[in-house]
Amino acid sequence: MSTDKPTYLNFNKKYYFCKADVDYRLHPEMYKIGKGEQGVLICEPYKSEIGKHWRFKNEEIARKSSKTIFSMFLEYLEQDDFVGADMARKYLQMGFTRARRYFNYKGSKIYDPKNGYRQLEKGTGDPEKAKSADIFYKRWKQAEKNPAYARLKNKWKRELG
């Protein structure tokens, strides 16, 4: 088991590129793509629009949730709203990663803060979450392969970084 401490212990929001007080629909130029799911729980108004649909408790709920979020992803693309589309993609990715965490670790807890943040034993989680993770994974990859998304993402990186 790993004795590495979780990175969130050294998190300093002052230096984080996503800011909770920015309306990214009004100021999309301030949005940075970041790595993985960065910003997904901060960037408004997308956090509020998409987050309320994000669920992965079981296979049925994950299917409905991922379908709704993917539909939102497509709507954002139709509006040429790259930030919205990227945030929806991140919620699909996060559906996969969080469901996998709940599958891998009981209660999704990876580290034990009472024991020097030692990593807990893997394989103690909810097997139902593996099905949810698979559903979100397929939608996430479907979003990433979307040609309109790829075009907007490349344009965004060229023009805004």
Q: Is residue 112 part of a domain?
A: yes
Domain count, the chain: 1
More confident of the two residues 3 and 5: 5
On whether residue 28 sits in a domain, the answer given is yes
Sign (positive/negative) of CA torsion 34, 153, 150, 89? positive
pLDDT value, residue 108: 75
pLDDT of residue 7 exceeding 70: no
Domain presence at residue 1: no
Kindly report the number of other CB atoms within 10 A of residue 35's CB atom: 7
Inside any domain, residue 60: yes
Specify the pairing of strand 111-112 against strand 118-119: antiparallel
Residue 90 covered by a domain: yes
Segments forming the whole domain that contains residue 145: 7-160
- pLDDT tens, 52-74? 999 999 999 999 999 999 999 99
Which pLDDT does position 9 carry in this prediction? 64
**Residue percentage of the chain with pLDDT more than 70:** 91
